[in-house]
Amino acid sequence: MLADDLRYYDYLPITKRPPLTWPNGARIAVWFAPNVEFYELIPPVNPARAAWPPPLPDVLGYSWRDYGNRVGFWRLLEVMDRFRLRGSAALNVAVCQHHPEIIAAMQERGWEFFSHGIYNGRYVYGMDEAQERALIEDAIVTVERHTGHRLKGWLSPALTNTERTPHLLAEYGITYSCDFMHDDQPFPLNVRAGRLISIPYTVEINDAAAYIRRLFSPQHFCEAIKAQFDRLYAEGGRVMCIALHPYLTGRPYRLLALIEGLEHITSRQGVWFATGAEIADWYYTHYYNGMIALLASRRSGQV
Partner 1 sequence: MAPLPNEHLRYPRRRHGMDHDRYDWSIMQRRPRVEWPNGAHVAVWIVAPLTWYPLTLGPQPRPPTGVFDDPWPNFRDYTHRDYGNRVGAFRVMEVLDRFGIRPTTPTNAAVCERYPELVQEAVRHGWEIAGHGIDMGHQHDARLDEATEVTMVATALMTLRKATGQAVTGWLSPANAESLSTPDLLTANGVHYSCDWVNDELPYAMRTRHGPLWAMPYSHDINDASMIWHGHHSPLEFVDQVRSEFDWLHAESRQQGGRIFTLCVHAWCIGQPHRIHALERILEHVRNHSGTWTATGAEILAQYQQQVDQS
Within 10 angstroms of residue 15's Cβ, the number of other Cβ atoms is 5
Candidate residues 23, 126, 194, 290; the one interacting with partner 1 per rule CB under 8 A:
126
Nearest to 242 by CA among 276, 205, 199: 205
Site string for partner 1, 140-179 (x = CB under 8 A): ----------------------------------------
Name which position in 10, 12, 74, 109 contacts partner 1 (CB under 8 A).
74
Q: Give the whole-angstrom CA distance, residue 139 versus residue 168.
A: 13
**Closer of 182 and 220 to partner 1 (Cβ):** 220
Interstrand relation of 88-91 and 28-36 (parallel, antiparallel or unpaired): parallel
Stretch that binds partner 1, among 168-176, 190-198, 248-256, 261-269 (CB under 8 A): 248-256
- Does 58 interact with partner 1 (rule: CB under 8 A)? yes
Q: How far apart are CA 289 and CA 295, in angstroms?
A: 10
Q: Does 101 participate in binding partner 1 (rule CB under 8 A)?
A: yes
Min dist CB 134 to partner 1, Å, is 6
How far apart CA 240 and CA 184 sit, in angstroms, is: 7
> Per rule CB under 8 A, is residue 44 in the interface with partner 1?
yes
* C-alpha to C-alpha distance for 193 and 233, rounded to whole angstroms: 35
Diameter of the chain by CA atoms?
Answer: 59
Which residues lie below 8 Å from residue 279, measured CB to CB, with a gap of 6+? 29, 31, 176, 186, 199, 239
Q: Identify which range of 16-24, 122-130, 264-272, 273-281 contacts partner 1 by CB under 8 A.
A: 122-130
Determine if 208 is a binding residue for partner 1 (CB under 8 A).
Answer: no
CB of 154 within 8 A of CB of 177? yes
Query: Is residue 119 near partner 1 by the rule CB under 8 A?
Result: yes
Cβ 6 to partner 1 shortest distance, Å: 17
- How big, in percent rounded to 5, are the helix, strand and coil portions of the chain? 45, 15, 40
Nearer to partner 1, 117 or 166 (CB): 117
Please name the amino acid found at residue 59.
Answer: V
Per CB under 8 A, 107 contacts partner 1: no
Q: Does 100 bind partner 1 (CB under 8 A)?
A: yes
Looking at the Cβ atoms of 127 and 158, the one nearer to partner 1 is 127
Q: Give the closest residue to 155 by CA, choosing from 260, 66, 21, 35.
A: 35
CA-based end-to-end distance of the chain: 34
Distance of closest approach, residue 60 Cβ to partner 1, in angstroms: 4
Residues that bind partner 1 (CB under 8 A): 38, 40-42, 44, 46-47, 53-60, 63-64, 66-67, 69-71, 74, 94, 97-101, 118-119, 122, 125-128, 131, 134-135, 138, 215, 217-219, 251-256
